[in-house]
A and B are shown apart, each in its own frame.
Chain A
Amino acid sequence: MGGTPERWDLEVDVVAVGSGLGSITAALVAHDRGQQVVVLEKAPRLGGLCGYGGGEVFCPNGPHMQDIGQADSDDAARQYFAFLGAGFNEPELTEKMVATYKEAIEYTEKEAGVAWEAVEGLDDYYYPDAPGSNTGRYLAVQLFDGATLGEWQQKTWPVSPHFPPAATHKEMYAWGGLANVTKWDYELLGQRIAADQRSFGPGMMGWFVKAAMVDRGIPAHVETPVRALVTDDDGRVVGVRAEKDGNDFFVRARKGVILGIGGYDHNKPMATMYEEVHDWNSATQPYLHGDHLLMGGEIGADIASVPPTNLAMFYGYNIPGEEHDGVPLWRSSWECGCPHAIWVNGQGERFCDESFYKDYQPRIREWNGKTQQQENLDVFLIFDGNYRERYPLGSFMPGMEIPEELAVKADTPRELAEKLGIDPTRLEATLERFNAGAAKGEDPDFDAGHFSWSNRLAGDPSYPNPNVGVVEKAPFYGVKLAPVGVGINSHGLRTNTSGQVMHVRGHAIPGLYAVGMSAAILDLGGGYQSGTSNMRAITWGYITGRHVSES
């Protein structure tokens, strides 16, 4: 911060920091508008969390809905985004995003060659209840050939541990969804992996990195974290101080710096404070530390937030011994969406629709003002022999022994409760009550299986209620769960409709932009819908790429 260096190591028009969708889209657009751009990335590979996730992009009334015969309208989209915002959004930001996302996504298709296709039959989270909700609004990419990345093939993520490698959304559903992973075509997937065919987030970022680094030759430096913003005497951001091979690396940005460095999932003190939980783990790669809040804060940037309870945070577990990039790998638990599984709290009671994370998220944090406690914070996944015969737990397929460190096993619910340290009588009563409804495919208490999104994503389509089945057959299992973030955070830098970062005094900081998760999600406001994170990263990348070029 402050004072320009005596010598710049590199001088360009635009510095794009981070290599997720936000930064890469901004880099593409700025390059196409004649700007000299460089990308600086902290991790040893390009693609960010976007290159590790599901790669779904929410795009109502989008370019490929007609391919699957699905009608939609911009009006319906606006209604749905207003429903999601629930009054916590900033209307001008929402409107700018809604008015631009289709144009931005079409740009990536027409100008950058990203091969999008519609995901048929996957509904909005709140479909059909919410105004303006619909089905078939997600985009995902066609399979990407890793070999076309040249030198970047080795410096991108070919697969993610969170998604079936090399399978498409269409195949995933045609093969019976996540509940039926034992029946998928693994011969085909094995052949595709050997040929480095990529799908989901790794496939999506393959297309973007190819467009930027290979087709356009935009230079990128990996293992080059940006440590501070450099400002001139007027407070304008004129460059960055990065770190390369252990030394300072000063890069001048004649037009602007774009921060697309994600959120703060791997900064535990920041995450527990901002997300209002006692514990925090993350499914993301270990490079997201909230540096944007630190670097922005140093030069007076304003930090804004939306309620954390309404966002995407999951509960999950770490299989002992599983790591990625040198840290424990945390998986979010989809098992609770399958039949024959429920969640209970420390008292042995159910408290939510386990198949719909938007329902369990706020209930986990429920505060009992009389007891001064968050009674649902301790969460246990309970499942039975029926479950184990049919579905996996993480990488443990039916028939495999699950290690004791991960899942406690017992012959009766009472014994299981005793082993887990929860009230045995209450657990027995909970199961009795749940099973009475589950035998009919019903859940009168929490209405599990209500949303078709849950049915499709985690449920077993062969059941009358894909998300509900009795928990009554020995042996019984219990897994203690913990909060698992997925890189979608409630706090970020406040930005305006051009993507510029705002100063605490209310003016835009010249030369500084934030995109993706680094920008507070005031455009979405009080709710989340999968695919919106990627969509807004592309959209604000597009907006800032144009704005910085014109500045």
Chain B
Amino acid sequence: MAEVEYSTTAKLPVETIWDFVCEIDNWAAYMTGYQSHEKENADDSVWVLKGDVGAMTRTLKFRVHVTEWAGPERVTFELEGLNEQMSGDGEFVMQSYEDESAEATAATTRKGWLQRAIEAVVRFFFRLFRGRVERAASADAGPGEGMARLRFRLEMRPGGPMGPMINAMIKPAMTVAAEDLANRIVGHLETERPGSA
């Protein structure tokens, strides 16, 4: 099992983030390695992403099923690999973040230097080959009036005998993907609402 979690803050109403997040088409292309997605119905969609597995990049196809639309606070989902032995789940959580008491976990602060170093390389290569620009990964302004927090959590469970090895290989890329997605969503909304950041 490889689990990553990333949270970031924005001077935006929670509802604004929710309105954006609950429509997949709005942010699908912000997924790192995004190739395509197709909605099958309100809860199910099929995604194609390119992801780094060790020294190579693989094209991953999987079905995402939303298990809970709990607006404006939470979307939870499950996923199932269609061309890889992989399953997983995750969630977006949006909270008002007016003071410190709001629950907040930013996994980035607990990382060792090796983990950060590997992620820096992964991020470098993603940008090199995909040519994307996004908001600084450390954009976390802390609590304050009108502030909200967006948290993204993703857990992947590679199956088959090689599962434990694939786990170790995908984790750096997943961490980058989680950070980039959260930051791109917030970055997009901040640009849409100038002066809000």
Residues of chain A having any CB pair with chain B under 8 Å: 44, 52, 147, 153-154, 157-161, 165, 181-184, 186-187, 189-191, 193-194, 196, 320-324, 326, 329, 395, 397, 399-401, 403
Contacts and interface: CB of A to CB of B under 8 A. Distances in A.
Contacts of B107: none
Contact of B58 (A187, A194, A322): A322
24 contacts: A154-B117, A158-B54, A158-B55, A159-B54, A159-B169, A165-B169, A181-B161, A186-B162, A186-B163, A187-B164, A189-B164, A190-B168, A193-B54, A196-B114, A321-B59, A322-B57, A322-B59, A324-B56, A329-B56, A397-B85, A397-B161, A397-B162, A400-B85, A401-B83
A186 B163 CA distance: 7
B115 to A, nearest CB: 9
Contacts of A153: 117
B162 A154 contact: no
A401 B117 CA distance: 36
A272 to B, nearest CB: 25
Given A165-B169, A322-B56, A326-B129, A403 B161 contact: no
A399 B55 contact: no
Contacts of B169: 159, 165, 193
A184 B160 CA distance: 12
Given A154-B120, A182-B161, A397-B161, A161 B59 contact: no
B50 A190 contact: no
Contacts of B164: 186-187, 189-190
Nearest to A395: B58
A319 to B, nearest CB: 8
B168 A194 contact: yes
Contact of A323 (B54, B56, B171): B56
Nearest to B82: A401
A461 to B, nearest CB: 18
Contacts of A157: 55
Contact of A165 (B121, B165, B171): B165
Interface string B34-59: 00000000000000001000111111
Contacts of A160: 55
Nearest to B113: A147
A160 B164 CA distance: 17
Nearest to B163: A186
A183 to B, nearest CB: 7
Contacts, number: 76
Interface string B156-197: 000011111101110100000000000000000000000000
List 7 A-B pairs, minimum CB-CB distance, nearest first.
A321-B59, A190-B164, A193-B168, A190-B168, A161-B56, A186-B165, A154-B121
Nearest to B61: A321
B118 interface: yes
Contact of B54 (A147, A161, A194, A320): A161
Given A147-B114, A154-B118, A193-B169, A159 B85 contact: no
Interface residues of B, number: 26
A150 to B, nearest CB: 10
B36 to A, nearest CB: 12
Interface in B88-136: 114, 117-118, 120-121, 128-129
Interface in B53-93: 54-59, 83, 85
Contacts of B121: 154
Nearest to A159: B54
B85 A186 contact: no
A403 B117 contact: no
A183 B85 CA distance: 16
A158 B165 CA distance: 14
A186 B58 contact: no
B58 to A, nearest CB: 6
Nearest to B161: A182
Given A181-B162, A190-B165, A196-B114, 4 more contacts: A158-B55, A161-B54, A182-B160, A191-B168
Contacts of A326: 129
A484 B33 CA distance: 27
Contacts of B171: 194
Contacts of B117: 153-154
Contacts of B59: 320-322
Given A159-B55, A193-B168, A399 B50 contact: no
B34 to A, nearest CB: 14
Nearest to A155: B121
Which of A52, A158, A159, A321 has the most chain B CB within a 10 Å cutoff?
A: A321
Given A186-B162, A186-B163, A397-B160, A323 B57 contact: yes
B91 to A, nearest CB: 25
A427 B87 CA distance: 40
Nearest to B117: A154
A134 B56 CA distance: 36
A461 B163 CA distance: 24
Nearest to A402: B83
Interface centre among A153, A154, A183, A320 (most CB of B within 10 A): A154
B120 A190 contact: no
A403 B83 contact: yes
A285 to B, nearest CB: 9
Nearest to B60: A321
A189 B158 CA distance: 14
A147 to B, nearest CB: 6
A183 B114 CA distance: 30
B1 to A, nearest CB: 11
A76 to B, nearest CB: 37
A316 B7 CA distance: 44
A324 B57 contact: yes
Contacts of A165: 54, 165, 169
Contact of B167 (A158, A161, A181, A190): A190
Nearest to A400: B85
A321 B58 contact: yes
A397 B165 CA distance: 14
Contacts of B83: 401, 403
B120 A399 contact: no
B161 A186 contact: yes
